[in-house]
């Protein structure tokens, strides 16, 4: 099956057609900068542009960096607050499947990447502007977990350990890894997953910080699909719903 996957991020909106059985892009990815302010109308225009670029009439899956319940956006921690209450599936056109960005990345990573063939509890965490999470057991997603907002030392984890925090405060990899380690230990102690996958843009630089992370016998591995995971997971969701 082929579907169009579109990944809405803080800096770019990326789309590509996907072979959902192979878990691979079938055409080159198109990236358009996220409009500012990233209002629903402005983002919907970009989504339409991507659909037109691919001359696409088949299934479409779209990710969003917030909680999505039955197509309706419920939270907007790092995007314009006017998204809250918007029915994204209506906004992006009839038939578009909408889901949380980290959930989409996790769906792809568990099917085709680092979580492949892993039957136990898998926790995927994406480190970017915020921290996204996706939880799986037996390969099935528990949607809309928001573990980036758990508190560590009285502060939301994504305000201590996101990649944005590392960049904004110019933290060394060592210093940032301390924050990540503390957060991961906290998550391990709450969920005891049998595998933790680290995704998001920073996973490209996993060699800079993963060697500094130690969760005992809980393996922590980098995502494999990198910046294509959201697109692939969105396309898979469009086909499988």
Query: Residue numbers of the site for ligand BGC (CB under 6 A)?
Result: 65-67, 75, 77-78, 100-102, 126, 128, 130, 132, 146, 148, 158
Opening angle at CA 223, ends 197 and 53, nearest 5: 130
What is the closest distance, in whole angstroms, from the C-beta atom of residue 126 to ligand BGC in the complex?
6
CB of 25 to ligand BGC, least distance (A): 21
DSSP-assigned letter for residue 200: S
Decide if 194 contacts 121 (C-beta within 8 A): yes
CB of 116 to ligand BGC, least distance (A): 22
CB of 162 to ligand BGC, least distance (A): 8
- Cβ proximity to ligand BGC: between 51 and 101 the closer is 101
Tokens standing for 2? 């082929």
DSSP state of 216: T
Whether the bond into 151 is cis, omega within 30 of 0: no
CA distance 157 to 150: 6
Whether the CB-CB separation of 78 and 10 falls below 8 Å is answered with yes
């Amino acid at each position: 099956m082929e579907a169009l996957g579109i990944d809405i991020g803080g800096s770019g909106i990326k789309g590509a057609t996907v072979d959902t059985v192979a878990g691979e892009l079938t055409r080159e990815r198109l990236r358009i900068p996220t409009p500012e302010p990233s209002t629903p109308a402005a983002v919907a225009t970009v989504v339409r542009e991507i659909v037109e670029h691919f001359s696409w009439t088949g299934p479409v899956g779209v990710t969003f960096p917030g909680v999505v319940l039955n197509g309706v956006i419920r939270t907007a921690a790092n995007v314009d607050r006017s998204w809250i209450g918007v029915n994204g599936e209506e906004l992006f056109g009839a038939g578009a499947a909408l889901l949380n960005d980290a959930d989409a990345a996790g769906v792809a990573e568990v099917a085709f990447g680092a979580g492949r063939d892993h039957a136990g509890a898998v926790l995927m965490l994406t480190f970017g502007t915020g921290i996204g999470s996706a939880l799986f057991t037996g390969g099935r997603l528990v949607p809309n977990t928001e573990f980036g907002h758990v508190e560590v030392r009285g502060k939301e984890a994504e305000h201590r350990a996101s990649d944005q925090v590392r960049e904004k405060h110019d933290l060394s990899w060592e210093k940032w890894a301390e924050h990540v380690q503390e957060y991961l230990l906290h998550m391990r102690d709450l969920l005891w997953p049998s595998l933790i996958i680290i995704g998001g843009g920073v996973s490209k630089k996993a060699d800079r910080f993963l060697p500094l992370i130690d969760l005992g016998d809980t393996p922590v591995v980098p995502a494999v699909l990198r910046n294509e995971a959201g697109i692939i997971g969105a396309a898979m969701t469009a086909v499988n719903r």
